[in-house]
C-alpha cells in the first residue's frame, strides 16, 4: 500500500469514527437534554415518552436530534449489510422526527400520523439492536481477537439485549389498563435505557471507550 493510500485510509477511518461518536453522543444525551431542558425552561415534568417532548418547549431539540441521527446513519457507508441497516435506521429516525407521536386528545389524522411514528420508532430501536448484537460483534479475520475486542463484544451484545428487553416491556405496557404505574412514566425511562444502550455501543465503536491498547494502524474495517 502506498503512502497516499494509507493517508486516504486513515482519513476514512477518522471520518467513520467521527460519525460513530456523534451517533453515540446523541443517543446517550438526548433523553436527559429533553428532560432537563423542558423542566428548566418551562417547568415541565417527565413526559410519557421521549417522543412526547415534541409537544413541549424542547420540540426543536427533539426533531433536530432525530434528523441529525438520520443524516449520520444515511451517510454511514461500509459493507452491504452495514449500509442497508444504517440506511433503514436513518430513514426511521427521520420518520420519527417528521411524524409526531399521537397527542391526547387526537384527531383521526393525528392518530394516523402517530401510527407512522410508532412504526418508525420500532424499526429504529429494533434495527439498532440488530446492529449492536450482530454487526458490531463481527471480527476482522485478518486481525487477532484482542482482550479489548472481547470486552467490546460483551457490551455490544448486552446493549442489543437491553434494547430488545426495553421494546418488549414497552409493548407489554401498552396492553395494561391505566394505573398508578403510569405516574412513574415507565415508557420514557425504558426508552432512555434503550437510547443510552445504543449510544454506548456507538461510542465504543467510535473508539471512545475500550479502545485496543495496541493495534495496527487505523483502517475502516468493522472490528
Q: Where are the domains of the chain?
A: 3-205
Whole-number Å distance between alpha carbons of 114 and 101: 4
In 131-220, which residue ranges form alpha helices assigned H by DSSP?
A: 147-174, 186-205
Whole-number Å distance between alpha carbons of 89 and 78: 14
Secondary structure of the chain: what % helix, strand, coil (to 5)? 70, 0, 30
Before 145, cis peptide (omega within 30)? Answer: no
pLDDT of residue 209: 85
pLDDT of residue 8: 38
- Rounded to two decimals, the pTM is 0.88
Q: Fill in the DSSP letter of residue 99.
A: S
pLDDT tens string, the chain, 223 residues long: the values are: 555 444 434 344 447 788 899 999 999 999 999 999 999 999 999 999 999 999 999 999 999 999 999 999 998 877 788 889 999 999 999 999 999 999 999 999 999 999 999 999 999 999 999 999 999 999 877 778 888 999 999 999 999 999 999 999 999 998 888 888 999 999 999 999 999 999 999 999 988 888 887 554 444 444 4
Which residue, among 105, 140, 112, has the nearest Cα to 221 in the 3D structure?
Answer: 140
Amino acid at each position: 500500500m502506498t503512502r497516499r493510500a494509507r493517508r486516504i485510509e486513515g482519513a476514512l477511518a477518522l471520518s467513520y469514527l467521527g460519525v460513530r461518536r456523534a451517533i453515540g453522543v446523541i443517543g446517550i444525551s438526548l433523553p436527559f437534554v429533553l428532560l432537563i431542558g423542558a423542566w428548566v425552561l418551562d417547568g415541565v415534568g417527565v413526559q410519557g415518552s421521549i417522543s412526547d417532548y415534541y409537544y413541549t418547549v424542547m420540540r426543536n431539540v427533539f426533531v433536530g436530534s432525530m434528523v441529525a441521527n438520520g443524516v449520520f446513519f444515511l451517510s454511514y457507508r461500509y459493507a452491504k449489510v452495514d449500509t442497508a441497516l444504517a440506511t433503514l435506521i436513518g430513514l426511521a429516525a427521520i420518520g420519527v422526527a417528521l411524524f409526531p407521536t399521537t397527542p391526547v386528545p387526537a384527531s383521526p389524522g393525528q392518530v394516523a400520523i402517530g401510527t407512522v411514528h410508532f412504526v418508525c420508532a420500532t424499526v429504529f430501536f429494533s434495527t439498532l439492536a440488530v446492529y449492536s448484537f450482530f454487526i458490531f460483534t463481527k471480527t476482522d479475520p485478518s486481525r487477532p481477537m484482542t482482550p479489548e475486542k472481547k470486552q467490546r463484544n460483551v457490551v455490544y451484545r448486552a446493549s442489543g439485549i437491553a434494547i430488545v428487553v426495553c421494546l418488549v416491556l414497552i409493548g407489554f405496557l401498552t396492553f395494561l389498563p391505566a394505573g398508578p404505574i403510569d405516574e412513574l412514566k415507565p415508557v420514557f425511562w425504558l426508552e432512555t435505557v434503550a437510547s443510552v444502550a445504543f449510544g454506548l455501543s456507538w461510542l465504543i465503536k467510535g473508539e471512545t471507550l475500550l479502545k485496543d491498547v495496541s493495534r495496527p494502524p487505523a483502517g475502516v474495517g468493522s472490528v
